[in-house]
Amino acid sequence: MSGTVRRTSPGLLLLAAPAGLAGVGLAWLLATPDGPEASSLIRVLSDCLGATVLGVTVLTWLQRSQRRPVVDRSSLWRPLAALAGAWTIAEAALLVAAAAETSEVGASALSSTTFGRFVGQISAGQIGAAVVGCTAAVTVVAAVAFRRDAAWPLTPVAVLATVALLARPVTGHMSAQALGSVLVAAHVLAAALWLGPLAAMALLLRARGAWAVLLPRYSDLAWRCVAALAVTGVVDAAVKLGDVEALVLTGYGRILLAKVAALIGLGALGWWWRRNWVPAAGAHRVTADDSLRRAVVEVVAMAVAFGLAAALATTA
């Protein structure tokens, strides 16, 4: 009797959710009592979903020079609709949580009048509502395109996803600094472009040839993203902390150190895989299942870093 081959399931990408929550939990242990806020648990899920939505659209850009695309554009609408729908739910929950926190009541006690006032009169509520509008628009466009089997361009979806990802961070504390919003936008976009395309490939690629085309191109993009994360992160930390001692004496600083350690670890893993996995996959010497397994490992590890980043954003 021949044994059956156990294949890796793309469903293992769901492990990124508990990994992200674990990152928030680690941040809580490091920062208590300075933070983070409970909304970080929702924020990390939203950030990972948003990055993956953007990553799906990036797949078409990564294969732009291919005469015969390895991923058909029309096949992307269904996963985009599902991912954007989940993202919309997460952003709506984040908006409700923010309204409840601002009103100093529990989410279950939040009245429609209070919520309407938050969304209509307070800048944080207006920004949150705009984000929900962007993610909902992506969901509707993707769902309609899927139903019609349309070959519409994904550029408008990528623009809406980028706006939704950047709207809240660029209006935070760094917006008061010269070029602060630009630095934050670069940081957030680099993180999304690091995680998102790899998660999208793990979700959608089934053939060795597809990995051979897209993985080397993603690898080139990923190293640029890591460099951008490092530079913008250093500037942001210097502005926020003010001195080196704050790295140890404040909850924010301790979470930041954990995030730096995670970035270094992920960078080392990326360097190692760039030396062996990427060239082997590009030469068709690695099975699609093997590539999927490695991609899942890296996405789950990156989700922990995303959890630390989400916690950092809500820590004093």
Residues in the chain: 316
Residue burial 41-51, b: 16+ Cβ < 10 Å; e: rest: bbbbbbbbbbb
Reported as half-sphere exposure (CB side, CA atoms, 13 A), residue 124 has a value of: 14
In a domain, 108, yes or no: yes
In a domain, 3, yes or no: no
In a domain, 4, yes or no: no
In a domain, 67, yes or no: yes
Task: Report the CATH number that the domain containing residue 36 is assigned in CATH.
Answer: 1.20.1630
In a domain, 2, yes or no: no
- Tell me the pLDDT band of 34, cut-offs 50, 70 and 90: confident
> What's the pTM?
0.94
Structural tokens at position 151: 């070959």
Alpha-carbon separation of residue 309 from 36, 289, 299 (angstroms): 10, 30, 15
- Tell me the pLDDT band of 176, cut-offs 50, 70 and 90: low
Mean pLDDT for the stretch of residues 119-130: 93
In a domain, 291, yes or no: yes
Mean pLDDT for the stretch of residues 1-22: 81
Full domain range(s) for residue 119: 13-311
* Residue 127: per-residue pLDDT: 94
- Tell me the pLDDT band of 6, cut-offs 50, 70 and 90: low
Which range (4-18, 134-148, 243-257) has the least confidence? Answer: 4-18
Q: If we measure between CA atoms, which residue out of 185, 147, 145, 180 comes closest to residue 165?
A: 185
- Is residue 175 scored above 70 in pLDDT? no
Q: For the segment 285-303, what is each residue's pLDDT rounded down to a tens digit?
A: 999 999 999 999 999 999 9
Q: For the segment 144-166, what is each residue's pLDDT rounded down to a tens digit?
A: 999 999 888 999 999 999 999 99
- Is residue 274 scored above 50 in pLDDT? yes
How far apart CA 278 and CA 154 sit, in angstroms, is 27
* Residue 177: per-residue pLDDT: 66
Q: For the segment 240-260, what is each residue's pLDDT rounded down to a tens digit?
A: 887 888 888 899 999 999 999
- Tell me the pLDDT band of 173, cut-offs 50, 70 and 90: low
Instruction: Provide the domain count of the chain.
Output: 1
- Is residue 1 scored above 60 in pLDDT? no
- Tell me the pLDDT band of 2, cut-offs 50, 70 and 90: very low
- Cis upstream peptide for 36 (omega within 30°): yes
Q: If we measure between CA atoms, which residue out of 239, 283, 262 comes closest to residue 27?
A: 262
